[in-house]
Structure formats: C-alpha cells, structure tokens
Amino acid sequence: MLSVLKYNGVEIAKNLEFARTKLSQILGLMFRKYIPSDYSMIFVLKKQSYVNVHMLFMRFPIDVIFLDDEKKVMGLFRLNPWIGYKAMKGIKYVIEMKAGTIERYNISIGGKMEFDEI
C-alpha cells in the first residue's frame, strides 16, 4: 500500500490527510496556522465534478493541484490567503500542499500523481 504522494514516481509528500466528507471538504485547511512541507490534503470526490477552492479564513498561501479520475494533473495553481479562488470541471481529486511544491517538483499539466486512498 502506498502511504505517500508521488508525482511521476518521485515522492513529494509522506504526511497525507484525506478529506472525504462534505464537512472535511468544506473546512479543508481553514483556520490552520501552517502545514509542514511534507504534508498534503487530498480531497476525494465521489465522482468527477465541478470543483471550486476558496481561501477564506486561510492564513498562508498554498499550491492546489486538480486531478481527473486517473490522477492525471489537469490544473495547477498557487492561491493566496483570503483572496484566492479557483474552479475547474471534470475533477475527481484536489490536492492542497505548501506553497512552492509545484515549482520545487516541476509538476506540470498531464503528469501523473500516485497515492492509495487509505
């Protein structure tokens, strides 16, 4: 079982938290003071959907990665606290990570993420 998040075979996070319920997805990272560099919150949707991410009540910027049902990267964004917002359609997973992760690992559209839905 894969307990880490990988991008094209390279480990990028080993501290994974899954948001599967409506409440956990609405709360996301709101009200937290920080997240570690090896942390990733993975939102698991029941089916591919229209998804929006807002940054209300956030204290720090984050990188957001949108994936389809095959865990292929469909969108990459850095969102800033309070004012950030992004939406996409056809999304099955949303990954929120420490700002700078996308750049650090050269994550790009079309790349493949790997993780087990524990």
Which CATH number is 28's domain given? 2.60.120.1140
Q: What is the mean pLDDT of residues 66-83?
A: 97
The one-letter code for the residue type at 78 is R
- Domain total of the chain: 1
| pLDDT the model gives residue 85 | 92
Residue 48, CB-side half-sphere exposure with 13 Å CA sphere: 11
- What is the residue-averaged pLDDT of the chain? 94
Residues spanned by the domain of 56: 5-114
Mean pLDDT of 95-103: 97
CB 62 within 8 A of CB 29: yes
Cβ atoms < 10 Å from Cβ of 117: 10
Q: What is the mean pLDDT of residues 37-48?
A: 95
